[in-house]
A and B are shown apart, each in its own frame.
Chain A
Amino acid sequence: MTRDMAFFEFLLRMGDNTLVLGHRVSEWCGHAPVLEEDIALANTALDLIGQTQMWLGLAGEVEGQGRSADDLAMLRDAWDFRNVLLAEQPNGDFGQTMMRQYLFDQAHVLLLEKLAGSSDERVAAIAAKSVKEVAYHVERSRDTVIGLGDGTSESHRRMQAALDLLWPYAGEMFTDDEVSGIMAGEGIAPEPSSLRAAWDAAVQQTMSEATLVIPDSDFAHAGGKTGFRHTEHLGHMLTQMQWLQRAYPGARW
């Protein structure tokens, strides 16, 4: 694999994570349990989709085939997506959405802090911009996980169920492979495994405040960021997200 191929893959991983999770979160718009949460979720989705434009825009530039961020977002099929499986998991109830958000945000903020010092100045600029927004995301998702975990017996039960359900999807965020090895060698991005200890420490702290128990098993599903095997949920999501461009190819706003 050449450096540019690995760089393109890396940028897709960044942009597909923010795109797929951003779309998932946007599904709450108009449906959240209270108005403040509806607004907060919509704002989070907006930030993530804004970040997607920068990551996928750069991906298209690095690929050099003339594909725009919109082309990459709307005209690829499920097997070409490189987001982690966690991002594509369905929203479930509000607690499950916030648990997914926290597990992701906590890793996202640690990664972006490192990427702000990337040897590639375009990556560093996108990360420096994004990390300011993501600092607010993780503050809120963390507070919400703690509030609901250490809340009523019903909210506690639901948050523990969400953690048990999503935990096997968290490990994929920290696996290394050929792409990440090349990126680390070039000083563009850290090896994902190098972020694990800090993430574990932060998540332990949060879950203990939330009175939630982290599952014993570190078994981790894989196949999202390599595109080898997404869960069935991604395809269903794309049929909705990409519907307009599929039905009316080339339609413009």
Chain B
Amino acid sequence: MTVSVDQIWGWLDEVPDPEIPVISVVDLGIVREVVLEGETVKVAVTPTYSGCPATSVISMDIETALRDRGIKDVKIETRIAPAWTTDWLSEKGRSRLEDYGIAPPQPAGGPERCPHCGSRNVTRVSQFGSTPCKAHWRCTDCLEPFDYFKCI
């Protein structure tokens, strides 16, 4: 079969992040490179946080997705440099995060607005949230708690 690198990127864009399934691993910016060498597909993946338990699941999901498309030889390389940054989140990913109720990262270091009601009156509960990549915030208008995808 003949496949192109673009096609593989498209397939990977259908692999959901295991903890935030509304965005893909490509949206998350952790797929750094796709290389085709004969029958072998090499995918370079950068972990978000060193201890993130989702990292090994993501590698497995990528491998499974490519095998399901008929790729027999998949090699996943874990690449730690340059270190992952939230700047690599795609625009599509950012807006899907907000629709899902997670405030996307902002250079100012805190959420721009409450993802539920849009209020700008928000306050931090904790630098650490339900997963390593998120902080815990609360809206002082609608009073709902929400996750903020923190800048790194």
Chain A: residues with CB nearer than 8 A to chain B? 36-37, 39-40, 43-51, 53-54, 121, 124-126, 128-130, 132-133, 136, 139-140
- Which residues of A are found within 8 Å of B80, using beta-carbon distances? 54, 125-126, 129
- Which residues of A are found within 8 Å of B152, using beta-carbon distances? 132-133, 136
Given contacts A49-B51, A51-B50, A130-B50, contact A36 B125 (CB under 8 A): yes
In the complex, the answer to whether B50 meets A50 with C-beta atoms within 8 Å is yes
* Secondary structure call for the A interface: helix
Given contacts A36-B125, A46-B132, A140-B128, contact A133 B50 (CB under 8 A): yes
16 contacts between A and B (CB under 8 A): A36-B126, A39-B129, A39-B136, A45-B51, A46-B53, A46-B132, A47-B50, A50-B47, A125-B81, A128-B83, A132-B83, A133-B152, A136-B128, A136-B150, A139-B127, A140-B128
In the complex the two chains form, what is the Cα distance from A43 to B129 in whole Å? 8
In the complex the two chains form, what is the Cα distance from A125 to B80 in whole Å? 7
In the complex the two chains form, what is the Cα distance from A49 to B132 in whole Å? 13
- Which residues of B are found within 8 Å of A36, using beta-carbon distances? 125-126, 128, 136
Q: Interface readout for B44-77 with A: 1 if CB under 8 Å, 0 if not?
A: 0001011111000000000000000000000000
Judged by a CB distance under 8 angstroms, whether B82 is at the interface is yes
In the complex, the answer to whether A40 meets B83 with C-beta atoms within 8 Å is no
Given contacts A125-B83, A128-B83, contact A140 B50 (CB under 8 A): no
In the complex, the answer to whether A48 meets B51 with C-beta atoms within 8 Å is yes
Judged by a CB distance under 8 angstroms, whether B130 is at the interface is yes
